[in-house]
Amino acid sequence: MAGGGGEGEKVKLLGVWDSPFVNRVQIVLNLKGICYEYVEEDLHNKGELLLTSNPVHKKVPVLLHNGKAIPESQVIVQYIDEAWSGTGPSVLPADPLQRATARFWAAFVDDKIGSSWFTILFARKTEEKMEAAARAISAMETFEGAFRDCSVAAGKPFFGGDGIGFVDVVLGSYLGWFLVIETMIGVKLMDAARTPELAAWAERFKMADAVKGVLPEDVDKVLEFLQTFLD
């Protein structure tokens, strides 16, 4: 067990393998080198531990740290960064203004891209899916500008600077799904022609050790699993 109070510490993550919200927590645990037990939840038949540890939303991810539950992926990532501040790289910058900027863009990603992702998956009408895809593309273009200003202009490869940070994990956790969406509706949400800096960033992100093996890669398997929530 690495850091954060040391020996005997228990870290458990309740998740679902293809969830971007779960995947971002896994990436941060990997980045910091924290050992944890992973529990795959059945969202069709939620376990007692999930229901009691996240009674408000009843959603994954939930992090259990020495038996105490922390729900909501962005909250969890920030909690990990603070609880294991002496272990591995920091995910949020130290400077308050840079922290605020990172939180702003992380919220932007889930508000604009995450909500479009959800609509593309679950809307019944193709028209609604296509409108959501257009909103995601527009958000991606805005985000390309932010990435240029915050990172590319300073010669940095990631939003977090030299290494993966908060905004990188929040956006990066959707990358596996972009290919799934392309297969579903024929639209590329991240396209090198429209957002070249983000497309290059995505390749760097996927190559990172902490990310390898975490994001879903088998499009058919994801589509098959998704179908169980649509039937």
Residues that bind ligand GSH (CB under 6 A): 16, 19, 21, 43, 58-61, 72-74
Min separation Cβ 207 and ligand GSH, Å: 24
Q: 165 vs 216, which CB is nearer to ligand GSH?
A: 216
Q: 43 vs 184, which CB is nearer to ligand GSH?
A: 43
Q: 43 vs 187, which CB is nearer to ligand GSH?
A: 43
Q: Are β-strands 11-15 and 68-71 bridged in parallel, bridged antiparallel, or unpaired? A: unpaired
Closest CA to 32 of 93, 81, 101, 73: 81
Q: 60 vs 181, which CB is nearer to ligand GSH?
A: 60
Q: 19 vs 53, which CB is nearer to ligand GSH?
A: 19
Min separation Cβ 200 and ligand GSH, Å: 26
Q: Are 138 and 165 in contact (CB under 8 A)?
A: no
Min separation Cβ 204 and ligand GSH, Å: 24
Which single residue brings its beta carbon nearest to ligand GSH? 59
Min separation Cβ 74 and ligand GSH, Å: 6
Q: Are 30 and 43 in contact (CB under 8 A)?
A: no
Q: 218 vs 229, which CB is nearer to ligand GSH?
A: 229
Min separation Cβ 165 and ligand GSH, Å: 17
Instruction: Identify the sign of the CA torsion 193, 196, 200, 203.
Output: negative
Cis peptide before 96 (omega within 30 of 0): no
Cβ-Cβ contacts under 8 Å for 195 (sequence gap 6 or more): 140, 141, 143, 144
Tokens of 160: 């977090």
Min separation Cβ 84 and ligand GSH, Å: 19
Closest CA to 114 of 190, 174, 43, 73: 174
